[in-house]
Amino acid sequence: MNYKFTETEIKKLLKENFMILYDTREQINKNQHILDYFDKKKISYKRQKIDEGDYTAIITKCEKMGIYRDLYFPIGVERKNSVDELAGNLGEETDTHDDIRLIRELRRAKEKGIKMFLLIEDEHGRENIKAGKYRSLYLPKSFMARLRSLQDQFLTNTVFINKNDSGEEIFGILHYAVRNFLKGGYMDIGPEEVDV
């Protein structure tokens, strides 16, 4: 069943049924500052396996509005806790696949039509990359070129941010992406079809 939501319905859904999902690979001791922000702002969240990115969002089912299943959206946030982690990911040795894990994940997201954002918890990250202030054999020029190439190929945006603002930024990215999807047109809100 396809349905176009009104502005009032969108506001209600975002207030009452918006939920952030974070990937099971996110280590609690590394993202507790983000969960603390969600708790402080009373933002619903749940730990769940996510194939592309570390964070995404859903609108939970709301039968009184005719939504009989959770609505998923093609949006994801990949979080790196430092420039060091990003350098390590981009410089890791290739395995039996042709590319490193991060690039395979971003490629899959693009193939599925998922808008991906890269959030790096280092507000001076760009300057630190240019100055070579990270742990990696990557030369600064090569590191920056690789990052720009990823941006062009796979990412909607790359954000360097203070760690203390990560929860707010993740919420903002996901909240407005879901809002825009809901405003954008007709959505299938009916129950999932079951094969007989």
Q: Which domain holds residue 154?
A: 2-188
SS3 category, 196? coil
- Which pLDDT score is estimated for 175? 98
- Which pLDDT score is estimated for 196? 44
Prediction pTM value: 0.91
State the Cα–Cα distance between residues 120 and 86, nearest whole angstrom. Answer: 8
Mean pLDDT is lowest, of 27-31, 84-88, 89-93, for: 89-93
Q: Give the side-chain half-sphere CA count within 13 A for 67.
A: 21
More confident residue, 165 or 137: 165
- pLDDT, tens digit, 9 for 90 and up, residues 100-119: 889 999 999 999 999 999 99
Supply the CATH number for residue 51's domain. Answer: 3.40.50.10130
Percent of the chain at pLDDT exceeding 70: 92
Residue 194: inside a domain? no
Residue 48: inside a domain? yes
Q: How much is the average pLDDT of 62-80? A: 94
State the Cα–Cα distance between residues 122 and 83, nearest whole angstrom. Answer: 7
In angstroms, the first-to-last Cα distance of the chain is 19
Residue 32: inside a domain? yes
Residue 193: inside a domain? no
Q: How much is the average pLDDT of 33-38? A: 97
Residue 26: inside a domain? yes
Question: At which residue do the structure tokens 């299943």 appear?
Answer: 69
Residue 110: inside a domain? yes
SS3 category, 20? strand
